[in-house]
Amino acid sequence: MSEQSLTQRAYQHNSSAFLAELHTAAAARRMHNDRPGALEIERAIASAPSIENEWTIAVARRFLVE
């Protein structure tokens, strides 16, 4: 069995809060006219927890202590 990624562990720990944080990050990117950033986050939300990128890792680190 393969080890879970940081994003997968955070999603498993509290999926609702994890996704809420990503939605907030996407909204903030849109407010700052960062459409590519918002779309990247929205893709991660749509395929959570399989995509791990800078956004999901940043949120996951706030949920987990390594």
Domain ranges of the chain: 13-63
Tokens of 63: 């949920």
19-42 confidence digits (pLDDT tens): 999 999 999 999 999 999 999 999
CA–chain centroid gap for 4, Å, is: 15
45, 19 contact by CB (below 8 A): yes
Task: With cut-offs at 50, 70 and 90, classify the pLDDT of residue 10.
Answer: very high
pLDDT given for residue 46 in this prediction: 96
pLDDT given for residue 8 in this prediction: 94
